[in-house]
Structure 1
């Protein structure tokens, strides 16, 4: 007979431990119990006693209610696509997957009150993904650009464009430098999700990661978890090719490569917002450069010390997701839900909740609205120019249901 807090959700504990990169032994040490107890709780063989239950809540900063609320999951087992280095440990995959599950749940709950942008992505429906040709990948990248009205020039903000057409995007640090991103189609709401890993510095790399995950969503929507595992490297190569084609369309990019030199690529970096390495690879794929020239470019890049960091890398800012941030702020500012209630409804540890929703640190810890000071123009002052403080931006609308 199982004892302890009845209704305790073992899956919640596994999410928390994985998300924070803890082993069962480390968790047991932090709450002063045995590792075998933690193992039993996660398997559902037993439940924590009230004292340990409260320790878990305090350690991770979650409510008792959330630990007893079953995670929202679909019966459909769609795979998560990971962009990571070969040597990445399993713990990093688990941490990223847990954060992605939280992202799905946050989004799903917000959509009970808000109408998100309609999903509008082209998807590969040609059957066996192992047989996808490079020409088909190029065609899908062109189709996506056409569908989204992007033309054939550089894309100013990849993340914003993805959000505008229904993709839910978030950025988060998970504590692993070799993990770049993860994506999946959710069975909960039929919506695509992307989690970009923020541990690595580099806005240019993060932007390419976003396009890479978009490639998975478009090319591999109907791939099973078994197929993904068996063909991991091939599918990663396909997503990489899509990202290159999406960010650097063959028609326009090839016309700008007058001289395929490192300095020539460097001059194009601020315009196309891609790395010099990505431009070298794209030139190779489009046969703009011969194998000999391509090899010389790679060697030259290495000789200049540009492998770990390229010139102009620090000139770019990270593209920030806005969908969830605006959704939360709309519910709060429209008086639909208070910050405290919304925090309890969403349930995720506050620090992670603010990060996934791209909210300022402490947003949910401040229960009082800042007082607005009434300031008026003097009656004899001149009018403020209409252009003062005005910025050009695109607004995403989320009407309340």
Structure 2
């Protein structure tokens, strides 16, 4: 190995170990190495044997190529948080790798979509309610009428030229990020960790789309601090994109006479959003803060609390007004399932590329981040049950 290759390996070892929350001692033990031997590898001071690379990859739950390939960090990325996130480097690297492979697939197959919402990004609305205005325009460009809910946010965005990437990151402080433009974007990256509610996944995808359309010039990979105004605008965009005003008013009126909790839950399911998003919109319309009322009535009606620790629910007014849905699945009543958020276009392109012999099975496994054994198992599930046209 050349010196630069040793440094790439060292960087990847450190990043992957940190992402798994392992110490050097633990990583060394899992790899069958002494602490000193592992420390030298992570410092770029020694060259590993092929067998050592395989053991390292197994211990860190990645493929050998993941240890040797230099990370691709998107330039025009928006990844901000009020909290310092130790996993930032790893998340950016994983997102960059996936998006680079995704773009290669599109190029190989000639299936790169035009960004259908570019007119909004080029000339975003101005004024106080620009988030709502952008949401209306986006829905119109995507062929949604004023009453139609967003039934498949992943499919809708991917058909419009926005890549959707699901990452499984065990963190309750990272929900998503986005890339504003080519070559890797536009793209939204959503944390689909199982403890985060699916409602939050959906809202995050729409929220990041709002940033792409409204804040193109704020995409700088080294900027980490959140901008409160931009966050409010992205929240407003997501709320009105997922729950159009006319449809919300109509459906709410049609539940007149039903218990308040049931009215909220019905609209929550209809629009595939959090109950907090529905309460937020009611607050906008009426000026009343109804979250305490909802939690009390929910407890009385179902005999259980939405928060396992305190009652009433400890949600601050600022958090409520932000429009964010419940972050954790345990906080979301009548929650959606994983099947309500499926980013499947990348998998579809991999299958097509393999079947057309444009990539190997091993390359497909690498793109999807699967061991070759798992990739072979996946291909066995690929069946086409759609009836073929009968020949006359």
TM over 0.5: yes
Q: CA offsets, 1:225-274, max 9 Å, x none?
A: 38953434443333222111111112321233335933322232332222
Deviation at 1:155, TM superposition (A): 1.3
Would you say the 8 A contact 1:5–1:49 is kept in 2? no
SS in 2 for 1:264: helix
C-alpha distance in 2 between matches for 1:4 and 1:49: 14
Cα displacement (A) at 1:143: 0.8
CA distance in 1, matches of 2:5, 2:379: 34
Secondary structure, counterpart of 1:194 in structure 2: strand
1:336 is the counterpart of 2:358: yes
Say whether 1:291 aligns with 2:288: yes
1:144/1:291 CA distance change after superposition, 3 Å: same
- Aligned match for 2:114, one of 118, 121, 125: 118
Distance 1:107 1:367, change over 3 A: closer
Counterpart position of 2:96: 101
| 1:148 maps to 2:170 | no
The equivalent position to 2:344 in structure 1, one of 318, 322, 325, is: 322
Aligned match of 2:390: none
More helix by share: 2
Measure, in 2, the Cα distance between the counterparts of 1:371 and 1:140.
39
Give the drift of 1:329: 0.4
Say if 1:228 and 1:104 are closer, same or farther in 2 by CA, change over 3 A. same
Distance 2:334 2:271 in 1: 12
State the Cα distance separating 1:169 from its structure 2 match: 1.3
- Residue aligning to 1:267: 266
- Name 2:203's counterpart in structure 1: 208
Task: Kindly report the root-mean-square deviation, in angstroms, between the aligned alpha carbons of the 2 structures.
Answer: 3.9
Structure 1 residues 173-208: Cα deviation after superposition (integer angstroms, max 9, x where no partner): 222244322322355344323233232253333222
Q: Would the alpha carbon gap of residues 152 and 17 (structure 1) be closer, same or farther in structure 2, given more than 3 Å must change?
A: farther
Give the one of 203, 214, 218 matched to 2:213. Answer: 218
Contact 2:242 2:271 in 1 (8 A): yes
Q: Name the structure 2 match of 1:20.
A: 20
Rounded Cα–Cα distance in structure 1 between residues aligned with 2:208 and 2:93: 17
Q: CA deviation at 1:90?
A: 1.9
Q: Which 5+ residue runs of structure 1 have no aligned equivalent?
A: 355-361, 373-387, 391-401
Structure 1 Cα separation of the partners of residues 370 and 267 of structure 2? 41
Partner of 2:166: 171
SS state of the match for residue 217, structure 2? coil
3-state secondary structure, aligned to 2:70: coil
Give 1:245's aligned residue.
240
Distance verdict in 2 for CA 1:58–1:312, change over 3 Å: closer
Structure 2 counterpart of 1:78, from 76, 79, 91: 76
CA deviations on 1:271-323 (whole Å, 9 max, x unpaired) are: 222222210101222xx223365664465457762354444325783321121
After TM superposition, give the deviation of residue 73 of structure 1 in Å.
4.5
Paired positions, count: 351
Does the CA-based 8 Å contact 2:76-2:180 persist in structure 1? yes
- SS in structure 2 of the partner of residue 195 of structure 1: strand
Contact 1:24/1:35 (<8 A) preserved: no
Question: Whole-Å Cα distance in 2 between the matches of residues 56 and 370 of structure 1?
Answer: 30
1:174 aligned counterpart, secondary structure: coil
TM-score calculated relative to the size of structure 1: 0.72
* Secondary structure of the structure 1 residue equivalent to 2:179: strand
Give TM-score, length-normalised by structure 2.
Answer: 0.73
